[in-house]
Amino acid sequence: MKKVKSLILIFLALLFVFSLAACKGKSDSGTVDTTKAYHIGCNTWGTMPILMLYGDECEYALESLGMTRSRASDDNNPDKELQNVQNFISQGVDGIALQGAGATVIPQIAQECMSAKIPFVMYNFPPKAEIYDDMSANNPYFAGAVVSDLWADGSILGAKAIADGHRTACVIGGNIGDPNMDSRAGGFRDAFEDGGGRIVGEERCNDNSECLTKATNMFSANRNVDCVYIMVSDYVEGTMTALENLDMMSVAGYLSAVNTISAEFVRNGRIVAGSGGTSFSCNVGPTLLINLLDGHPIRDPDGKAPFIRIPTSLVTSATIDKYIAAFFGEEKAVPPEVIQKLTYRFNPNVTYQTYLDVIANDLTVDAIIKAKGL
116 plus 100 within the same structural domain:
yes
Question: What local confidence, expressed as pLDDT, does residue 31 receive?
Answer: 66
Each residue's pLDDT tens digit, 337-358: 999 999 999 999 999 999 999 9
* Residue 4 predicted with pLDDT over 60: no
Q: What is the CATH number of the domain that holds 97?
A: 3.40.50.2300
Total structural domains within the chain:
2
305 plus 245 within the same structural domain:
no
Burial label, 175 (beta-carbon count in 10 A; 0-12, 13-18, 19+):
middle
Q: Which domain holds residue 167?
A: 151-257
Distance CA 68, CA 70 (A): 7
For residues 182 and 176, the answer to whether their CB atoms sit within 8 Å is: yes
Each residue's pLDDT tens digit, 294-309: 999 999 999 999 999 9
* Residue 14 predicted with pLDDT over 70: no
Each residue's pLDDT tens digit, 232-241: 999 999 999 9
252 plus 304 within the same structural domain:
no
Longest alpha-carbon distance in the chain: 101
58 plus 143 within the same structural domain:
yes
102 plus 245 within the same structural domain:
no
Q: Would residue 303 be called left, alpha or beta, if left means φ above 0 and alpha means ψ between -120 and 50 degrees?
A: left
pTM: 0.85
Q: What are phi and psi of 224, to 5 degrees?
A: -100, 15
The residue with greater pLDDT, 6 or 62, is 62
3-state secondary structure of 230: strand
Q: Is 322 a member of any domain?
A: no
Q: Is 229 a member of any domain?
A: yes
Over residues 5-11, the mean pLDDT reads 44
Q: Is 65 a member of any domain?
A: yes
Q: Is 207 a member of any domain?
A: yes
Each residue's pLDDT tens digit, 77-108: 999 999 999 999 999 999 999 999 999 999 99
Each residue's pLDDT tens digit, 105-144: 999 999 999 999 999 999 999 999 999 999 999 999 999 9
* Residue 15 predicted with pLDDT over 50: no
* pLDDT over 70, % of the chain: 92
